[in-house]
Structures are given as structure tokens and as C-alpha cells.
């Protein structure tokens, strides 16, 4: 049985969970709870992933996989049912870029979270925090302006990553009100978040 090091607050873990559910493979993976941060690895699986991050996927017949992009791509090769998360042909490069855009939103949003949650207030840099938010802001504008057609197409790993990124913004950065200037993305997310796989994996 494969073991997925997991936390319900992690949007990267959520990408993996959604892919498992959408492809009917949830029963092939056992979850192992992990919690920790860069300043205190806590119960993070540092033996399985030297970077001390989750998700990490231990396999009985091969090396432990990390990070989320490697894990989702691997699991998609095992799926015998369900959508083509990584479509063939030139569309693949679009899907991977959409995924990288969503993961980049997450990377910036998590750095903001760590800055405020883990550093003493006097050591926090608002310029640095706002610099990270600028990345999120520009990426969201790009999704709204250029990617709506793609987001409305067949389910792919890019859509899953965007759904998890927007869910994380609601979870940790609600006050930034990402919906204010993005009506199309707002509508899309409203629909996407109704999927049973999204409903089953709320950040908590």
C-alpha cells in the first residue's frame, strides 16, 4: 500500500487527494498525518522527504516521491479510469503552465503566511509580503484574462491546481478579497468547488 504524508491544511496535498478521488484511486493510498513548519519540522516526514515538506508519497516498490507535481504525474500514470489529467499533444504544455501558475500562487501565498505566522512582528517585512502578493495578484489577473477558456474545458491537472490555489486564498488570505476584480474566475470557482472531490477536501 502506498502512504501519503498528509495534512488537511496543505493545498499541495489537496491536489493529490483530488486527483486520487477523480480517478477512483483513493483506496490505493493510506494517509499518514504530518504537521510542521520551516522553523519546527514537528512530525514532518523528514526521513521520507529531506526537504521536510508534504505531500510525500511512499511506495512499496520504488523511491518516495515528492513534490506534489511529481506525485500527481505519477498517480496519473496508474489511473486506468477517469479524465486525461495530462493531455497529449501541444495542449500538455498549456496544462503544465496553468499548473505552474497555480502552484506559483500557492508558493507566494504560503511564504506570506509563514512570514506573518512564524516570524516575530518586528522582524516581518511588509515590502516583502506585498511583493509576494503582487505575484499572486498578477497571476490571478492572468487567469482571468487568458485562461478562462482552458479552465472551462475538460478536467486537467491545471484546473485542479487552480481550484486548490483559490481555496487556499480563501482559507488564509480572505481579507485580500481576490474575487473583487475577477468575475469570470469567481464564477468558475463557484462551479468547480461544487465537485465532490473539492467538497470532500476543505482546508481545515
Contacts with ligand 99T by CB under 6 A lie at 9-10, 12, 36-38, 52-55, 67-69, 110, 113, 172
Least distance to ligand 99T, CB of residue 9, Å = 4
**Least CB distance to ligand 99T at residue 109 (A):** 8
38/202 with CB nearer ligand 99T: 38
Please say whether the beta carbons of 172 and 117 come within 8 A.
Answer: no
- Residue 106 buriedness (CB in 10 A; 0-12 / 13-18 / 19+): buried
Least separation in angstroms between CB 19 and ligand 99T: 13
Residue placing its CB nearer to ligand 99T in the complex, 52 or 167 = 52
Give whichever of 38 and 131 is closer to ligand 99T, judged by the CB atom: 38
What's the min distance (Å) between Cβ of 113 and ligand 99T? Answer: 5
Amino acid at each position: 500500500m502506498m502512504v501519503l504524508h498528509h495534512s488537511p491544511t496543505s493545498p499541495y496535498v489537496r491536489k493529490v487527494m483530488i486527483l486520487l478521488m477523480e480517478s477512483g484511486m483513493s483506496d490505493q493510498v493510506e494517509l499518514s498525518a504530518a504537521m510542521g513548519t520551516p522553523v519546527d519540522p514537528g512530525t514532518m516526514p523528514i526521513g521520507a522527504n529531506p526537504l521536510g515538506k508534504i505531500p510525500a508519497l511512499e511506495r512499496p516498490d520504488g523511491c518516495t516521491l515528492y513534490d506534489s507535481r511529481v506525485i500527481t504525474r505519477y498517480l496519473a500514470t496508474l489511473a486506468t479510469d477517469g479524465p486525461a489529467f495530462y493531455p497529449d499533444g501541444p495542449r500538455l504544455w498549456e496544462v503544465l503552465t496553468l499548473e505552474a501558475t497555480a502552484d506559483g500562487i500557492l508558493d507566494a501565498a504560503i511564504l506570506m503566511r509563514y512570514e506573518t505566522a512564524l516570524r516575530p512582528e518586528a522582524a516581518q517585512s511588509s515590502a516583502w509580503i506585498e511583493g509576494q502578493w503582487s505575484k499572486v495578484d498578477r497571476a490571478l489577473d492572468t487567469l482571468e484574462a487568458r485562461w478562462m477558456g482552458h479552465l472551462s474545458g475538460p478536467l486537467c491537472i491545471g484546473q485542479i491546481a487552480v481550484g486548490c490555489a483559490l481555496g487556499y486564498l480563501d482559507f488564509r488570505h480572505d481579507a485580500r478579497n481576490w474575487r473583487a476584480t475577477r468575475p469570470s474566475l469567481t464564477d468558475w470557482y463557484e462551479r468547480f468547488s461544487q465537485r465532490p472531490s473539492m467538497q470532500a477536501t476543505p482546508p481545515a
